[in-house]
Amino acid sequence: MGILEKKVAELKNYKPELTRQQDFERFWLMAAEEIFSPEGLSSWRIDPEEREISEEFQVSFNLELEDINYPLKQVKVYKASLEAAEGTTLHGWYLYPATAGEHKKVPGLIRFHGYSSNKGKICELLLWALQGYAVLAMDVRGQCGDTPDARVYSSGSFSGWLTLGLDSPLEYYYRQVYLDSIQAIEALARRPEVDGKKIGLFGNSQGGALAIVSAALLSRFAGKLEGITAQVAAVSAGIPFLSDLRRAYEEHVDGPLTELDWYFRMYDPLHEREEEIFKLLSYFDAMNFAPWVKCPALVSIGLKDTACPPPTIYALFNHLGGKKEILIYPDYSHESNDNFLDRQIVFFARELLGM
């Protein structure tokens, strides 16, 4: 038995029980209804002092595009914005082949970024647009891009976003991040040059989790919410974060989960609220969404990862509900690598371009 086989023998069989609460599906159906309301959702910003509605906003599926004069004739490049909830405007990039149009639709891709990063650079997306995809990359609200977070939270958090809104699942930060993600996917699918039945999602770390969760929500509720037209045909999650969160907390050494360490130190040093906190986090655990993902999935794992411990990624992978493949990198930690990017290119070409 080789080194790789020895290391993964136990991991391959690791499939912990899901930690879903009884109302998990109802919670997310009601959340998604806020985005896919037939009448179109109105959202409000509350003045915390007057406790009155100060502004009203409309959630949109229309990407607002600003043309960028980029020196490549083969690709059209735009700044993109999208009106999300609570008056937050999501900002990003949108690229598609110059030959694409209403009568020549192309598959769509959305790239989700990692924790504390942003939409990235135009040059990073050219790789995909030049292959024949329409590709959208948006900031995650409140992180390190051009997109703020207009939500008002009832309490503070430790540095970062992982502990923001831990007073309630309805208030928790990632609830709105997940909704932003499926809203952006639907906006892409409704573009005239995009084949909404051929949507691919991908990202690393936090981006991998957002890809899995978004594919799950759209797949699960497509028949229940008439506003969903996007069909996710393929998803790729590199070293996905936010999975099997209790074990991730127990085994992590670094990465964003250290924020939770400090949260307990500052607010709950005796862990008297531990069960309450992990019950709340179970609504946002990517592992709990995995069985709803029915499309082909490609996942990567670094066996020396100390931010997203390998068992937590296997927990997600082993619960995925469709055709799936995991690529194991024994000598990588929590980092992207070119080999996986090459495999993603082949994966999406097969699943979306029919190559």
Could you give the residue numbers annotated as active site? Answer: 205, 305, 334
Tell me the residue type at 330: P
Within 190-269, residue ranges assigned H as helices are 206-221, 245-251, 258-267
Token digits of residue 150: 């207009």
The C-alpha atoms of residue 334 and residue 313 are separated, in whole angstroms, by 12
Alpha carbon distance 293, 320 (integer Å): 6
Question: Taking the alpha carbons of 116, 33, 54, 153 in that order, is the dihedral positive or negative?
Answer: negative
Rounded to whole angstroms, how far apart are CA atoms 159 and 157? 6
Contacts of 13 (CB under 8 A, 6+ apart): none
Cα-Cα-Cα-Cα dihedral sign, residues 246, 250, 254, 260: positive
Question: How would you classify residue 115: left for phi > 0, otherwise alpha for psi between -120 and 50, otherwise beta?
Answer: beta
272 vs 297: CA distance, rounded Å: 38
Collapsed DSSP state (helix, strand, coil) of residue 311: helix
d(CA 271, CA 281): 15
Whether 45 and 345 have beta carbons less than 8 Å apart is answered as no
Q: Are 54 and 46 in contact (CB under 8 A)?
A: yes
